[in-house]
Amino acid sequence: MSESTAIDDASRDPYARTLLVADPDREILVMRWVADAWCAPHDHGEAGGHVHVLEGALVERRYRFDGANLEPISERHVVAPAILEVGPGEIHDMRAIGTTTTVHVYRPRVLGMRVYDLARRETLVVSDDCGAWVPRDASLVRAREAWSSTPTTMPPA
């Protein structure tokens, strides 16, 4: 199974993605990043995996979400060759530093990825063929939930 989303001049998507493998047990994608573009904060649902930085570099930020606020808790710079581990439910975003290519390997397949829309203060569950960005096409949003106005109690990280 193969799918490619190309980056065109009018695109706001931070990367082009090519799906190499997608079955219930795993998902493998190649991503070609636009220089200096951030993806949206997101998690990978129940999937965990690894991001292999093949060329270029990334800045990765990790977040904590309490139902009302999305708060950055760490930031790191990663230069190729490198591997980032991302656990199920962990929220992060990334920015390419220059042209960057990554390979993403998730187990099981990413289903129900949540994208955190900072501008609208909503959590979106996006379709399985959407990348880690707030989709311009509303049909790619499967569910949305507004953030509460007051934080809930969060366990320490």
Name 35's Cβ contacts closer than 8 Å, sequence gap at least 6: 96, 97, 98, 99, 100
Is 138 a member of any domain? no
Range of the domain at 99: 3-111
pLDDT for residue 156: 52
Q: Residue 58 sits in a domain of what CATH number?
A: 2.60.120.10
Is 56 a member of any domain? yes
Is 129 a member of any domain? no
Measure the CA–CA gap between 131 and 11, rounded to whole angstroms: 13
Q: What is the DSSP string of 77-106?
A: EEESSEEEEE-TT-EEEEEEEEEEEEEEEE
Is 118 a member of any domain? no
pLDDT for residue 149: 83
Is 76 a member of any domain? yes
Is 121 a member of any domain? no
Amino acid identity for residue 63 in this structure: Y
pLDDT in tens, 74-102: 999 999 999 999 999 999 999 999 999 99
Q: What is the mean pLDDT of each run of 10 residues along the chain (157 residues)?
A: 37 89 97 96 97 98 96 98 97 96 98 96 95 95 92 53
Is 150 a member of any domain? no
Are the CB atoms for 39 and 96 separated by under 8 Å?
no
Is 144 a member of any domain? no
| Domains held by the chain: number | 1
Q: pTM for the full model?
A: 0.86
